[in-house]
Amino acid sequence: MQGVFPDGQEWQISVPDNWNGVVINDLDAVPRLASGSPIAEYFLENGYAYTGTRRHPDRSFNWDPPAESNNMAAVLDIFSDEFGEPATAIQYGCSGGGSVGLSVAEDHPDIFDGVISMHASDPITLANMRLDLSVALKGLLDEDDVLPLIIDDGEQAEASEIWTSVLAEAAQSDQGRARMALALVMAQYPIWGSGPKPDFADNEAVQQSVVDAAAIAAVRAVTGRPMWDQPAGLMSWNEGVDYRRFYNHADPSHQEIVRDLYADAGLSPARAIPADLERINAQPRISATSSGVEYFRSRMRTGDVKIPMLHASTIGDASTPPSVMARDAAAVTANGASSLYRQAFIEAPGHCTHNVAEVAALLDTLEERIETGTWGDTKPGALNQSAAESGQGIGRFVPSAFATGWKLPTTLNRAFLPGTTWPGDAS
């Protein structure tokens, strides 16, 4: 069953013959089914109805989170009219789909019973983290002033080419590599995200991983801008930001990698790192528009979660760094909703690279919480056991800890919460 909403967003509903009474809804259900996604197949083969949409055709430059959230609810309304009200309705999704899940948990607790949100983010928080990274790299590497920071829709390919070229050249020198690492670590990105986790006993492998992650993260930071800026204007800024202070919030183990790279480049870490942070601070400042900030402030998730939610990410994501989850944890805590919220981390590189076994484990864990009203064991060991029992492979769940090369920040530089004053204190 399929159709198109009045705003142009496609929707679909698939119900297996052995439907178990549970519906899983997904922003990306239409393309997943069309591509034969193993995750979609797992849902249907195990008796779950699978519903949802294709992303809105103008989403890349006119993103409206509440409209997406409302369309998720509209799909469930159609389902109930046609097949009867499900026993359980779960919103699932990754990246943009994960962000919709955060909205659904606040907007539609009357329709949905739980959410699995993967690689989700708050727009203002993520846009500012991306701005910090690109500003730092431009300040440290762009002697010819060719790197664009703010681009319009349609300019992504040209911007990607320029950034890729400059970063590839910088990566050929020891000093360039050290400065790429400084920018990445200061902006609170993970130190690996482009390939398999490096052996942390191999300094050379770790350093190469940091450089590779910086290159990938920077291109995404710049080319993703039109989605944030075009609905109402520029919505990130670095006025009032002290990048020395931001660097002080970085993971200590990551700071050590930066110091080693500076030393390997023949630069005194004690002198050169503060000097380079001052170079970043000396860059021209960027101001957001009040309309741009308020557009997303009025559409942002507040953390007032009303149904159980599992929030998960790989720890090697150089596109949407898992650090952004610190903002959501703080927002949920501020709203007194911590009993409904749990986080999980997967030791894998890339964006939305989780496997079917991991989704099965998260789904089993969430269903137990919905049915019993109490969370079971959500620690990595229990999730990995559940993943193995699914028969779909192995789970790679790990704690947020230095041993994995990443830890959820205690202080997130760019945590934009509902009460944040614009442009406000950026700490």
pLDDT (average), residues 350-379:
97
What is residue 275's predicted lDDT score, i.e. its pLDDT?
A: 98
Spans of all domains in the chain: 2-122+302-404, 124-294
Place of tokens 């890729």: 164
What is residue 414's predicted lDDT score, i.e. its pLDDT?
A: 94
pLDDT at 370 over 90: yes
Q: pLDDT of 286-325, one tens digit each?
A: 999 999 999 998 888 899 999 999 999 999 999 999 999 9
Cα 125 to Cα 128, 144, 280, 301: the distances in Å are: 5, 29, 20, 11
pLDDT at 427 over 50: no
| CA proximity to 254, closest of 309, 308, 181, 341 | 181
Q: pLDDT of 57-83, one tens digit each?
A: 888 778 888 899 999 999 999 999 999
What is residue 231's predicted lDDT score, i.e. its pLDDT?
A: 83
User: What pTM was computed for the model?
Assistant: 0.94
Q: Which residues contact 48 (CB under 8 A, 6 or more apart)?
A: 16, 19, 20, 22, 23, 24
Q: What are the residue ranges of helices labelled H in 319-426?
A: 325-334, 356-372, 380-389
Q: How large is the C-alpha radius of gyration of the chain? A: 22
Distance of alpha carbon 358 from alpha carbon 335, whole angstroms: 29
What is residue 424's predicted lDDT score, i.e. its pLDDT?
A: 54
Distance of alpha carbon 315 from alpha carbon 398, whole angstroms: 9
Task: Write down the architecture of domain 2-122+302-404 according to CATH.
Answer: 3-Layer(aba) Sandwich (3.40)
